[in-house]
């Protein structure tokens, strides 16, 4: 599935990134499949000089995990890049995600306020990680329960990360015993058959543009972001 432009003006554009697409190549690695940045450069060559590291991340203001999908902002010029970066840094952008997680989340509303750091010798993050440890806050609320009374129920969450740490939502939800469905890095290696991807989607970003306009950009989940359906025997499959 290819990326889709969902908003564009003279200063920036918003892309609905599909799950499985890497945003940019990892430094020092070559020969990887197409990335979002290579797809963007073929259509917007003017962004090749935009950003804090334009050779690696042209125009990219923030990031989404490869396995996640949803809204991603791309600056077309350096002034807009710095402006949008400042909004993320000062938490002036409202970010809303959708996630299917394992188990029945209680209470129905809550927040995880635990610093996150890197685990030494790996690329994983953890509440116990000592390297580059930073404050992290994730709020959530339950939108729906599925499979109540079965061996393994699931919860559908609206998630609002107040900070923007790498793997923040995945680490925080796992820390309270409800890893995201399809997450083999922070959850069990064995995943439900209905989960063909990481069930995490960046639904919307809301912020004020440089021109003073209040803007909310939304991206609907792709067809792989599904709801589980339960059979007579209580087993779950894609709805």
Whether omega before 107 lies within 30 degrees of 0, making that bond cis, reads yes
Strand partners, 94: 206
Can you tell me whether residue 80 is helix, strand or coil?
A: helix
Alpha helices, DSSP H, located in the chain: 36-43, 78-89, 168-175
Strand partners, 96: 204
Handedness of CA 149, 153, 155, 161 (dihedral sign): positive
Q: How far is CA 31 from CA 28, 68, 78, 212, in A?
A: 10, 22, 29, 42
Closest among 73, 69, 70, 41 to 56, alpha carbons compared: 41
Handedness of CA 122, 124, 130, 134 (dihedral sign): positive
Q: Please identify which of the residues 9, 11, 53, 65 carries the catalytic annotation.
A: 65
In sequence order, the 6+-apart residues with CB closer than 8 A to the CB of 157 are 98, 99, 100, 101, 105, 140, 141, 142, 143, 173
Strand order through the sheet with 116-118: 125-126, 116-118, 131-134
Q: Is 222 tagged catalytic?
A: no
Query: Active-site residue numbers?
Result: 65
């Amino acid at each position: 599935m290819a990326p889709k432009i969902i908003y564009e003006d003279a200063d920036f554009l918003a892309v609905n990134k599909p799950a499985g697409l890497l945003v940019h190549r990892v430094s020092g690695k070559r020969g990887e499949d197409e990335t979002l940045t290579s797809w963007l450069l073929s259509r917007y060559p003017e962004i090749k000089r935009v950003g804090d590291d334009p050779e690696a991340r042209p125009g990219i203001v923030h990031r989404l995990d490869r396995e996640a999908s949803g809204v991603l902002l791309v600056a077309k010029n350096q002034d807009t890049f710095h402006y949008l970066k400042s909004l993320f840094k000062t938490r002036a952008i409202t970010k809303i995600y959708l996630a299917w997680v394992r188990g029945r989340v209680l209470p129905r509303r809550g927040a995880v306020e635990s610093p996150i750091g890197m685990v030494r010798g790996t690329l994983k993050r953890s509440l116990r990680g000592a390297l580059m440890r930073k404050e992290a806050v994730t709020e959530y609320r339950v939108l729906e329960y599925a499979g109540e009374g079965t061996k393994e129920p699931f919860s559908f969450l609206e998630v609002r990360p107040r900070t923007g740490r790498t793997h923040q939502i995945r680490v925080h939800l796992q820390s309270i015993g409800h890893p995201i469905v399809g997450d083999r890095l922070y959850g069990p290696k064995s995943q439900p058959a209905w989960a063909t991807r990481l069930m995490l989607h960046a639904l919307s970003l809301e912020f004020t543009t440089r021109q003073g306009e209040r803007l909310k950009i939304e991206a609907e989940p792709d067809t792989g972001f599904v709801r589980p359906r339960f059979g007579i025997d209580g087993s779950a499959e894609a709805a």
